[in-house]
Structure 1
Amino acid sequence: MPLKFSANVSMIFTEEKDLLQRYRSAKQVGFKGVECVFPYDVPTEKLSAVRKELGIEQTLINTYMGNRQKKEMGFAAIPGKEKEFQDSLELSIKYCKALGCKCLHIMSGKIPDHEESQKADLLKQMEDTYIKNLTDAVPRLEKEGILALIEPMNTKISFPNYFMNTIDLAVRVIDKVGHRNLKLQFDFFHVQIMHGNLTKNFKDNFKHVGYIQVSQPPHRGEPDSGGEIDYNYIFAFLEEMGYNGWIGAEYTPTGKSEDSFKWFDKFKV
């Protein structure tokens, strides 16, 4: 089955300051889907109107992350922030429904400053909070037709102190929540940095995978830029595995956005 790709308009087409114009640029390149890290600065009515006009699918958004100046990255695993998580979830549902978006990446938040002697207790408390919040949120999302996703994101280069940072943690949380509507967002960039051994990690966890993202480590460039991953091999592997979900192109172009799509040409339909 042909692979289908979605353009991350938070990271690509940043030559355009207007998010709505980035949707248009993605359509012009040939993408049938778009994903967005932070759509919340634009009213739902405007985003919905341009998406419908273009006939492009909104494949993914992230939950509202909080104050970006303070570098907040969500609330789902932060003890004492349960109200903030509930509020962020309801706002995210509002945007998903307006955009017809079927996938929501639930941001865990970062590990608060702590004494090293307190780390084990803090991590246990955060995991318990995360599981409780997800246990409540996942059925709520299912009723709205929205798939809940959690994504291990690397703490070695990109997001120091981010709580949800390994596949082992993600799978443990998924198993403890125990709901069919909670899946793994498998980002090859993050998994390469934290784990390596990409194809085995993907095969071992394929039953949990609900969404994929790609970019080139270590600089998060387009898939065919210089780096650590042979995406010709990876894309052939995903076809062989029979993966039929969306693949988010979540990269920072190494040059102009318009020059970063040679890798995508053979996948256009």
Structure 2
Amino acid sequence: MARLKFCANLSWLFTELPDFSQRIRAAAAAGFRAVEAAWLYDCELKELQKAREEAGVEVVLINSPPGNTKAGELGLAAVPGKEEDFKQGLAVAVKYAKALDCRRIHLMAGRVPAGSHRAAVVKEMEAVFVQNLRYAADVLSEEGITGLIEPINTRITDHRYFLDSPHQAADILEKVGKSNIRLQMDVFHWQIMDGNLTQNIQKYLPLIGHVQIAQVPGRNEPDSDGEINYSYLFNLLEELKYQGYVGCEYKPLGSTQEGLGWITDYWARSK
């Protein structure tokens, strides 16, 4: 079986270093051949390009801009009235992705508007989401980029996030009907919302374009104490011949380097 490909999420790992260029180099020094990040838009693009090239790593994934975070926004793709803002943000994301030779953009759905009941707005938000994803699919196809949608749990992490289960995401992907819009599986969120990981992974693997990992409930290293047996899940993904990347999106219990024993062991076993 082919070994899994891991990438370091630089919004969570190597945060001992102040800027992303330094984190890129640190990830490479730790053995990662690929990195991902949430938002790089406050960084100087030329510096990121230089660091990526010098470190010899692939930038696997970035998020679309979150919108106005001070106003409580966390993505715009499903938010009514924000269609033009979403399109402008997508253009910025594509600019960064192209410059960094990144082939995946997480298109963040966003939150149910404050003061609204989810049940009252779900149909309108879904319609906006589908429309925006179809638009994004056409824009991204011209650049050879895949768009991803990620369910985020509404029990612990974000009670108002619109997209919160793999089942909802799969239904939306079917309505979008574009092959370059795929599912991002964050095991942390899937476990909290639905559990049943083995069956859900087997069922939705054909839709999955990216995977992210963290232990539950603390969102720490995958070998830390918690609910998920990652040795089993890694074997399962290998058996299912998953070919994409596995993003390490977790909060280290100590320093990043001190918490990398699990992946150095995996790399050693896979040689």
- AA in 2 matched with 1:148: G
Question: For the residues of structure 2 that align with 1:266 and 1:241, how far apart are their CA atoms?
Answer: 21
1:70-149 mapped onto 2 (5 Å cutoff): 70-116=71-117, 119-149=118-148
Q: Shift of the alpha carbon at 1:115? A: 4.8
Is the CA contact 1:3–1:267 (under 8 Å) kept in the aligned structure 2? no
| 2:28 paired residue number | 27
Q: Shift of the alpha carbon at 1:70? A: 3.3
Q: Shift of the alpha carbon at 1:255? A: 1.0
Q: If the length of structure 2 is used for normalisation, what is the TM-score?
A: 0.96
Is the CA contact 1:152–1:186 (under 8 Å) kept in the aligned structure 2? yes
Query: Structure 1 stretches of 5 or more lacking a match?
Result: none
SS in structure 2 of the partner of residue 69 of structure 1: helix
| 1:204 paired residue number | 203
1:93-242 mapped onto 2 (5 Å cutoff): 93-116=94-117, 119-242=118-241
SS in structure 2 of the partner of residue 6 of structure 1: strand
Is the CA contact 1:44–1:95 (under 8 Å) kept in the aligned structure 2? yes
Question: For the residues of structure 2 that align with 1:115 and 1:152, how far apart are their CA atoms?
Answer: 20
Question: For the residues of structure 2 that align with 1:267 and 1:70, how far apart are their CA atoms?
Answer: 42
- AA in 2 matched with 1:69: K
Deviation track 1:64-88 (CA, whole Å, cap 9, x = no partner) reads: 1123333421110011001110010
SS in structure 1 of the partner of residue 21 of structure 2: helix
Deviation track 1:144-197 (CA, whole Å, cap 9, x = no partner) reads: 010010001111111120011111110011000101111100111000000001
- AA in 1 matched with 2:130: I
Q: Is 2:244 aligned against 1:245?
A: yes
RMSD value over aligned CA atoms? 1.1
SS in structure 1 of the partner of residue 252 of structure 2: coil
SS in structure 1 of the partner of residue 112 of structure 2: coil
Report the number of matched residues: 267
Q: If the length of structure 1 is used for normalisation, what is the TM-score?
A: 0.97
- AA in 2 matched with 1:108: A
Is the CA contact 1:11–1:252 (under 8 Å) kept in the aligned structure 2? yes
Q: Shift of the alpha carbon at 1:114? A: 3.0
Identity of aligned residues (%): 43
Is the CA contact 1:4–1:267 (under 8 Å) kept in the aligned structure 2? no
- Give every structure 1 segment of 4 or more consecutive aligned residues whose post-TM-superposition deviation is greater than 4 Å: none
- AA in 2 matched with 1:205: Y
SS in structure 1 of the partner of residue 183 of structure 2: strand
Question: For the residues of structure 2 that align with 1:255 and 1:34, how far apart are their CA atoms?
Answer: 20
